Amino acid sequence: MIRKLLLAAAFLLGSIPALAVNPDEVLSDPVLEARARALSAQLRCMVCQNQSIDDSNAELARDLRLLVRERIASGDSDEAVIDYVVSRYGEFVLLKPRLKPETLLLWGAPIVVFLGGAVAMVLFVRRRSGQAVGEPLTADEKAALERIVGTDRPDGGAGAQ
């Protein structure tokens, strides 16, 4: 019974995401540490590029985590810390870029792609429905169709009409 409980506990603890923050990086004030964690979750690891610096084990991510904590400990606001990091590494360091004239295309691209897809679907459906309601076959076309269909039938085209 105890083995089952320990196994279940190990399984549950193993499913918790591991953060890369080392114990020597943690600030002594829990409020400041919570701010540091929140800011670190918003900043991209420049090595991994698809992880926040809070999740990355890269040396540069560690340096950025320490920089964020240093700035917070010196009294900077959250916005001042973000502005400082962006001034050094550019907008790419933000996992969620700011809405500015330079990033309008980035923010607007999903809307443009969605609208373009919707227009393409409407045009496709209209074109397909227009083909189904075409002009009736002429007598020559009907005769040609009967010859084609009649030669492919195993009974020589003498099916029920």
pLDDT in tens, 23-45: 667 777 888 889 989 999 999 98
pLDDT confidence of 19, banded at 50, 70, 90?
Answer: low
Whole-number Cα distances in Å, 73 to 29, 36, 93, 99: 9, 9, 21, 28
pTM of the predicted structure, to 2 decimals: 0.55
The region of weakest confidence among 45-59, 64-78, 91-105, 121-135 is: 121-135
Rg of the chain over CA atoms, in angstroms? 32
pLDDT confidence of 81, banded at 50, 70, 90?
Answer: very high
The pLDDT value recorded for residue 134 is 62
Mean pLDDT of the chain: 81
Q: How many CB atoms lie within 10 A of CB 64?
A: 25
Enter the tokens of residue 106.
Answer: 């980035």
Q: In 3D, which of 20, 119, 39, 117 has the Cα closest to residue 80?
A: 39
CATH class name, domain 2-98: mainly alpha
Residue 81 CA to residue 71 CA, distance in Å, equals: 6
The pLDDT value recorded for residue 97 is 82
- Angle between helices 30-40 and 78-89 in degrees, nearest 10: 40
